[in-house]
Amino acid sequence: MKSRCPNIKYLFEPRSIAIIGASQDTMKLGYTIIENILSGNYIGKVYPVNPKGGEILGHSVYKSVEEIDDIVDIACIAIPAKIVFKAVKSCAHKGVKFLVIITSGFSEIGNTAEERKIASYAREHGMRILGPNIVGIYSSSVSLNATFGPKEIETGNVAIITQSGAIGIAMIGKTKVEHIGISAIVSVGNKADIDEADLLEYLISHKETKIILLYIEGIRGGEKLARILKMATKKKPVIVIKSGRSKRGAIAAASHTGSLAGADKVFDAIIRQCGVIRAENIQEALEWCKFLVNSPVPKGENSVIITNGGGIGVLGADACEKYNVNLYDDIQTLKKTFSEVTPTFGSIRNPVDLTGQASLVDYDKALGAALKNRNIHSVICLGCETTFFNAEAFKGIVKKQYDDYKIKKPIVFSIFGGDKVESCIINLREYNIPIFSDTYKAVSCLSALYSHYRNKISPTDIIKEIDTDIHSIERIIKQARKDNRYFLLSYEAQDIMKAVGIPIPKSYVAHNISEAIKYAEEIGYPVVMKVVSKDIVHKSDVEGVALDLENKAEVIDAYEAILYNCRTNKPNALIQGMEVSEMMQSGIETIVGARRDPSFGPIVMFGLGGIYVEVMKDIVFRSFPVGPKETMKMISELQSYPLLLGVRGEKKKDIDVVVDTVIKVGAILQKCKDISDIEVNPLVVYNCGEGVKALDVRILLSKPEEV
Amino acid sequence: MKSRCPNIKYLFEPRSIAIIGASQDTMKLGYTIIENILSGNYIGKVYPVNPKGGEILGHSVYKSVEEIDDIVDIACIAIPAKIVFKAVKSCAHKGVKFLVIITSGFSEIGNTAEERKIASYAREHGMRILGPNIVGIYSSSVSLNATFGPKEIETGNVAIITQSGAIGIAMIGKTKVEHIGISAIVSVGNKADIDEADLLEYLISHKETKIILLYIEGIRGGEKLARILKMATKKKPVIVIKSGRSKRGAIAAASHTGSLAGADKVFDAIIRQCGVIRAENIQEALEWCKFLVNSPVPKGENSVIITNGGGIGVLGADACEKYNVNLYDDIQTLKKTFSEVTPTFGSIRNPVDLTGQASLVDYDKALGAALKNRNIHSVICLGCETTFFNAEAFKGIVKKQYDDYKIKKPIVFSIFGGDKVESCIINLREYNIPIFSDTYKAVSCLSALYSHYRNKISPTDIIKEIDTDIHSIERIIKQARKDNRYFLLSYEAQDIMKAVGIPIPKSYVAHNISEAIKYAEEIGYPVVMKVVSKDIVHKSDVEGVALDLENKAEVIDAYEAILYNCRTNKPNALIQGMEVSEMMQSGIETIVGARRDPSFGPIVMFGLGGIYVEVMKDIVFRSFPVGPKETMKMISELQSYPLLLGVRGEKKKDIDVVVDTVIKVGAILQKCKDISDIEVNPLVVYNCGEGVKALDVRILLSKPEEV
């Protein structure tokens, strides 16, 4: 029996909750959870469940969930792992919608079978599971704190989804200290059923949530996650912390393309493609959340630094370059705006330097002028404690200006000095004013906001359908499957290129010398000849390749030499023919690839041929599907990109066709579930207008366990 | 009259100080300085000087410095710029040793002439100048606070040298807040005379100083600075903040090599070569100072993370990789050390995970085990606030373990959570225990300590003298100077290579066809032919080069063609002959360069030829002189370095000879002050044992204003 999925709204706004494993023992999670729910003033009904019955905190205990004479939207399960399945069955009987399984001891310690059994049972009975191995869920909409974490949670507009329960608990505490208000905290743990994507889908239109923070350790079903992240980030900022950036933490990627890059590089490329803002660590993420939730989105890229010290100003400019915040440099406007408010020895250039003699009146005027000016879209106000700097008076100015402009224009402050400055910072932060001792931190917050701004205004890329001769492709794959091959032969791979319109060298398979000569003459000399054999993957290794054949005599010689070499070097190989192809003009050699990432599904990759990818690790990735704009952006991120633009007087290369080819290669992989890996190496790129040619194509099919 | 320089000891330990411009007006610097000196309990004599006479804070005022009936080690000058010179003359008369010129309004606003006049007058009269345009000097040895900054300075072991007065003042405040004790603060301002190098030289053996912090905006005389930094960092950690990392801040470097890299890349390479630890910003630098001043140097690289949460542990491991802290992975030792103290579901692998259920007894045991073990050289103790985490009890454990081991082994702590955790951090920091909310910060501190450790244990590189035929070189340069040339002709540059023993292709200059044929036959075919003309710098541009000439006929043709081309493309050029040289075997093309950096003097650079340097910006620098070990390290820092090791089955290249060549090229530049630029491009590198050849060498001579 397969039932309809319950609406995820009832996970965030349950009308009632049953706590299976409710306990009177204050040392048990089953007590803490009920206590948190009750002291948090949950607006729905609370039903403690425990076979022992009795009463807990004034609520009578049901012996079983089935005894409850009411609908039960959530059953929160906090009982030993070995009896969870039994409880889940009762819940199915009762018609519970969501199972919040706190209990640990499942797949995280290798007990995967039990977890799968529970998950598939729940699915069959129309229930969804959060967890297991979680700290619970908090939802401000109904004032529900169904966690065993801290009792007090500050209500606000940041939703947190965390894979680690421990970090979830610690974040509840830290957000309270930092006055970061929370709309929801969901611990996803082992993700037996509900994952980040399911939750994000709901949070996109969740009114209480203005910002979403994800703490991720590992990704499953990343294809769906990427799709939903793209939608979410257009509506609200999504900030991600992913642990395991380092080699020590990252899973060794199995395939060739993966091993070139390391899993984190792929993750990083894809979440940026999705418009996600990635924080390096939890502190940074929380600072960003706090700033973004309180700040308006800027109306443009023109940022201005106001400072009372050259040194601090330059440090601020350094930080802006590091974090990609654009300093406005229209001298005319800067002059008009600041010349009246800047002392003689100051500078109206950006950073606007009021000098160490700056009085607070100067600060007030300059800050006011910057905030008022429509050409200035954000302001970085810096201060260094000098003999003239009065932190107490500065506080007043900051408060006034911030209050006047906080909903109109992003502003960050950073002041540096002794105890008066420090207490000024502490005091202003109590009012949620973004002021920091560290200039770099201030600029980093603004930079996160600009990441969101840029993603929000960037036009949605058009994903176009690629014309594909899918029947030819299927025929080729069918043949390979029949032969029990997990790779395609060279000519088969070429036929697949033809099926999506990627140009390949003219090429025929000859079965004897006279055919070889005929084809060579049809193609035109010089030609290249390669052995065709399902038993020979690396043709060069067996000397099965001959280049630059200029006439009939050379074709004959080469044909015989290749046959001889293959018979000598690989005696048992079945020779199926000899591929004769046109000898290519030289151009820039590139590599285009596509594969199924274990986390993210179809991804495409691009790099310049040879040592650029191998030695310099100069390679870029995107999840597929991807539109032409984003593909162009991806290509331009290569360090070696100038080579495609033409260096040393060379002409610009045909980059548009490269973009097209990358998308086509991705489309093949996406459409044919049988294909696991495509590598065009080299894809030779010619001058603008002259296109590309796929010289060598390697296509692997998925092994049975991967399909 | 040129007098002997006074011993800089008297700047840090003056027996007496005169304040020229002492004032009763509490709004004036001349008052603040005296007040700071007196309230700071300076142990020497204080002599206020002001033509008005009278009394200030109980001290009678001298009308002129000459009236003082005592030696005067320091005269602190705080009077308007236009009358400073007059005061300096009086000081000379009096025999003052050091002038601490607070006054601004000199070279920083373009008034360079006055500053130079004062500086040269002082030099001639045996006085040294600190400043002008500074906040003053603080020296804990004699309890002297001769600054107009904050009155209260915490005494300790960090010496600060700052180019910015404003940042100096703010740092005094901030160090007090952070309990960072100061041994000296010296503001160097415009550096008319005394610079960072002079001060460092003294601070190397300054007992009170354990760590030196430099805030730098621009470098002059970097050659001397580099030399002294190398000595200083062997004794004590030197931490540098340099503002102007970004393009916007950095001075556009004039020469080719510089423009490839940007000035900051050169600065960064050189200070790392000198063993300096570079901080990105002031906060980071101060955190490092505080940690390093309180921590012992580790005895080895084995670091262990102890944690109660998988997530925080992985974040810690990520931070260790980012900051290059080595996680110990001897499983046997880890098992032996931690298996007894780690719960069943925990992990004895590093990070050692005590799990969320970890009790404080577990923490105590694990921490103790790690600190006791001699194979473990440093400990990173992390904590995440779980239901079982008692911050108050944790505090006790941290205090006890830290007290027991703080002088034996470096330890850092990081805990993350709510208000109890936060107040635990604040409380422990009061005891100077290195505990942070941010795991990355904790690891970054340990990383700074490891930078110091690695520099300290690295054996001093042997700078060997290069055998140079200096007479030949001088003869060549003399000829070029006679011709009014600022570049050497190709054969001259080759002769310079010969003078230090860098191999060049066999090559002769022919003056007619028959000579060309004779030389070609002596060298052996194939040969290369190039025009020789002082009027033609870029030979290819005028088609003055012919490659791969295989026989006599081709030599004749090429000779005539080159002559024709040059006469057509550059009619007025004087053709001085035709260079005939051996045609080289292909190898890996590299670039070796040396130039005089405007800040750092002689520097050498190395990169792989062609687009590696131009497009990929893959280039490395060192200041010269440099020993073979450091040169090897420099080369191995190239991203393209694997190409020299041999990729795709190629043999390893002759890296030792490359090292040798880089040092020789540097030595030429260092020895010949006339040479401003050397670029060997390409230096072709062959397989191990087969050496290198300098195919093309470009040598520029300094213009008169540069000599």
Task: Compute how many other C-beta atoms are within 10 angstroms of the C-beta atom of residue A441.
Answer: 20
Q: How far apart are CA A164 and CA B309, in angstroms?
A: 9
Helices (H), B309-461: 310-322, 331-338, 360-372, 391-405, 419-430, 439-457
Lowest mean pLDDT among A251-255, A488-492, B263-267, B591-595: A251-255
Quick one: what percent of chain A has pLDDT higher than 90?
Answer: 76
Question: Which of A148, A416, A420, A648 best probes binding to B when mutated, by most B CB atoms within 10 angstroms?
Answer: A416
Cβ pair A311:B616 closer than 8 A = no
Q: Which residues of A touch B282 (CB under 8 A)?
A: 315, 416, 438-439
Shortest alpha-carbon distance between residue A687 and chain B (Å): 18
Q: What is the pLDDT of residue A3?
A: 54
Averaged over B163-180, what is the pLDDT?
93
- Say if residue B255's pLDDT is above 80: no
Which chain A residue's Cα is nearest to B311? A164
Rounded to the nearest angstrom, the gap between the alpha carbon of residue B338 and the centroid of all alpha carbons in its chain is 41
Q: How far apart are the first and last CA of chain A?
A: 26
- Say if residue B346's pLDDT is above 90: no
- Residues B666-691 have pLDDT tens digits of 999 999 999 999 999 999 999 999 99
Q: For B9-291, CATH number?
A: 3.40.50.261
| Of B85, B90, B44, B36, residue with least CA distance to B63 | B90
In angstroms and rounded to an integer, the radius of gyration of the C-alpha atoms of chain B is 32
- Residues A538-557 have pLDDT tens digits of 788 888 999 999 999 999 99
| DSSP string over B371-408 | HH-TT--EEEEEEE--TT--HHHHHHHHHHHHHHHTTT
User: At residue B667, what are phi and psi to the nearest 5 degrees?
Assistant: -65, -40
Interface predicted TM-score (ipTM) of this complex, two decimals: 0.89
Q: What is the pLDDT of residue B77?
A: 98
Q: Which residues of A touch B614 (CB under 8 A)?
A: 647-648
Which residue in the set A217, A248, A321 is minimally distant from B321, CB to CB? A248
3-class DSSP state of A101: strand
Cβ atoms of B684 and B470 within 8 Å: the answer is: no
Q: What is the pLDDT of residue B235?
A: 95
Lowest mean pLDDT among A133-137, B34-38, B309-313: B309-313
- Say if residue A451's pLDDT is above 80: yes
| DSSP string over B601-634 | EEEEEEEETTHHHHTT--EEEEESS--HHHHHHH
Q: What is the pLDDT of residue A84?
A: 97
**Lookup: tokens for A92:** 């199915």
B74-77/B98-101 β-pairing: parallel
Q: Which residues of B touch A308 (CB under 8 A)?
A: 166
Q: Which residues of A touch B314 (CB under 8 A)?
A: 217, 243-244, 249
- Say if residue B400's pLDDT is above 80: yes
Lowest mean pLDDT among A345-349, B518-522, B577-581, B691-695: A345-349
Which chain A residue's Cα is nearest to B163? A311
Q: Which residues of B touch A642 (CB under 8 A)?
A: 615
Q: What is the dihedral of CA B35, B37, B41, B42, to 10 degrees?
A: -160
Tell the residue number behind the tokens 């002189």, with chain if given: B625
Task: Assign domain A9-232 to its CATH superfamily.
Answer: NAD(P)-binding Rossmann-like Domain (3.40.50.720)
Cβ pair A164:B311 closer than 8 A = yes
**Lookup: tokens for A460:** 């949605």
Q: What is the pLDDT of residue A9?
A: 94
Q: How far apart are CA B315 and CA B303, in angstroms?
A: 15
Averaged over B52-64, what is the pLDDT?
94
Q: Which residues of B touch A81 (CB under 8 A)?
A: none
Q: Which residues of B touch A421 (CB under 8 A)?
A: 170, 173-174
- Say if residue B260's pLDDT is above 70: no
Q: Which residues pair with A699 in a beta bridge?
A: A678
Lowest mean pLDDT among A231-240, A289-298, A611-620, B547-556: A611-620
- Residues A32-72 have pLDDT tens digits of 999 999 999 999 999 999 999 999 999 999 999 999 999 99
Cβ atoms of A604 and A618 within 8 Å: the answer is: no
Q: How far apart are CA A121 and CA A2, in angstroms?
A: 10
Question: Which of A160, A385, A424, A443 best probes binding to B when mutated, by most B CB atoms within 10 angstroms?
Answer: A385
Cβ pair B246:A322 closer than 8 A = yes
User: At residue B635, what are phi and psi to the nearest 5 degrees?
Assistant: -65, -40
Cβ pair A356:B327 closer than 8 A = no
- Residues A323-371 have pLDDT tens digits of 999 999 999 999 999 998 888 778 888 899 998 888 889 999 999 999 9
Which residue in the set A166, A177, A244 is minimally distant from B419, CB to CB? A177
Tell the residue number behind the tokens 């001058």, with chain if given: A687
Cβ pair B282:A327 closer than 8 A = no
Which chain B residue's Cα is nearest to A242? B315
Q: How far apart are CA A251 and CA B565, in angstroms?
A: 61
Shortest alpha-carbon distance between residue A346 and chain B (Å): 11
Averaged over A207-224, what is the pLDDT?
90
Q: What is the pLDDT of residue A254?
A: 29
| Of A628, A629, A624, residue with least CA distance to A605 | A624
Q: Has domain A588-706 been given CATH number 3.20.20.70? A: no
Q: What is the pLDDT of residue B54?
A: 92
| Of A321, A283, A326, residue with least CA distance to A302 | A326
Task: Compute how many other C-beta atoms are within 10 angstroms of the C-beta atom of residue A565.
Answer: 17
What is the pLDDT confidence band of residue B220, given thresholds at 50, 70 and 90? confident
| Of A116, A112, A217, A208, residue with least CA distance to A161 | A217
Q: Which residues of A touch B177 (CB under 8 A)?
A: 418-419, 422
In the DSSP assignment, the letter for residue A594 is: E
Q: Which residues of A touch B247 (CB under 8 A)?
A: 321
Cβ pair A150:B418 closer than 8 A = yes
* Better-scored residue on pLDDT, B215 or B614: B215
Cβ pair B245:A321 closer than 8 A = yes
Contacts of A199 (CB under 8 A, 6+ apart): A8, A161, A186, A188
Question: Which of A160, A260, A281, A614 best probes binding to B when mutated, by most B CB atoms within 10 angstroms?
Answer: A281
Which chain B residue's Cα is nearest to A29? B387
Question: Which of A246, A324, A441 best probes binding to B when mutated, by most B CB atoms within 10 angstroms?
Answer: A246
- Say if residue B100's pLDDT is above 90: yes
Cβ pair A311:B248 closer than 8 A = no
Lowest mean pLDDT among A573-577, B216-220, B529-533: B216-220
Cβ pair B647:A615 closer than 8 A = yes
What is the pLDDT confidence band of residue B342, given thresholds at 50, 70 and 90? confident
Averaged over A396-418, what is the pLDDT?
95
Cβ pair A315:B615 closer than 8 A = no
The CATH architecture assigned to A295-457 reads 3-Layer(aba) Sandwich (3.40)
Task: Compute how many other C-beta atoms are within 10 angstroms of the C-beta atom of residue B331.
Answer: 11
Q: What is the pLDDT of residue A262?
A: 56
Q: Which residues of A touch B639 (CB under 8 A)?
A: 615-617
- Say if residue A408's pLDDT is above 90: yes
Averaged over A671-687, what is the pLDDT?
94
In the DSSP assignment, the letter for residue B571 is: T
Task: Assign domain B301-457 to its CATH superfamily.
Answer: Succinyl-CoA synthetase domains (3.40.50.261)
Which chain B residue's Cα is nearest to A176? B418
What is the pLDDT confidence band of residue A705, given thresholds at 50, 70 and 90? low
Averaged over A503-517, what is the pLDDT?
91
Q: Which residues of B touch A176 (CB under 8 A)?
A: 418-419
Averaged over A684-703, what is the pLDDT?
93
Q: What is the number of CB-based contacts under 8 A between chain A and chain B?
A: 218
What is the pLDDT confidence band of residue A248, given thresholds at 50, 70 and 90? low
Cβ pair B437:A174 closer than 8 A = yes
Cβ pair B243:A315 closer than 8 A = yes
What is the pLDDT confidence band of residue B370, given thresholds at 50, 70 and 90? very high
Element (H, E) at A277: strand A277-279
| DSSP string over A339-390 | TTTS-TTSB-SSSEE--TT--HHHHHHHHHHHHH-TT--EEEEEEE--TT--
Q: What is the pLDDT of residue A257?
A: 34
Sign of CA dihedral B204, B206, B211, B215: negative
Q: Burial of A322 by CB count in 10 Å (0-12 exposed, 13-18 middle, 19+ buried)? A: middle
Cβ pair B321:A247 closer than 8 A = yes
Which chain A residue's Cα is nearest to B264? A318
Cβ pair B170:A386 closer than 8 A = yes
3-class DSSP state of A704: helix
Topology of domain A506-582 in CATH is Dna Ligase; domain 1 (3.30.1490)
- Residues A607-626 have pLDDT tens digits of 998 777 777 888 999 999 99
Q: Which residues of B touch A244 (CB under 8 A)?
A: 314, 318
φ/ψ bin of B494: left (φ > 0), alpha (ψ from -120 to 50), beta (otherwise):
alpha
Domains A295-457 and A506-582 share a fold: no
Cβ pair B640:A32 closer than 8 A = no
Averaged over B219-241, what is the pLDDT?
92
Task: Compute how many other C-beta atoms are within 10 angstroms of the C-beta atom of residue B213.
Answer: 27
Q: What is the pLDDT of residue A460?
A: 84
Q: For B486-582, CATH number?
A: 3.30.1490.20
Would you list the domain boundaries of chain A? Answer: 9-232, 295-457, 506-582, 588-706
Cβ pair B356:A165 closer than 8 A = yes
Shortest alpha-carbon distance between residue B465 and chain A (Å): 35
Averaged over B221-250, what is the pLDDT?
86
* Better-scored residue on pLDDT, B261 or B619: B619
Averaged over B55-62, what is the pLDDT?
94
Cβ pair B322:A642 closer than 8 A = no
What is the pLDDT confidence band of residue A167, given thresholds at 50, 70 and 90? very high
Quick one: what percent of chain B has pLDDT higher than 90?
Answer: 76
Question: Which of B305, B318, B352, B638 best probes binding to A when mutated, by most A CB atoms within 10 angstroms?
Answer: B318
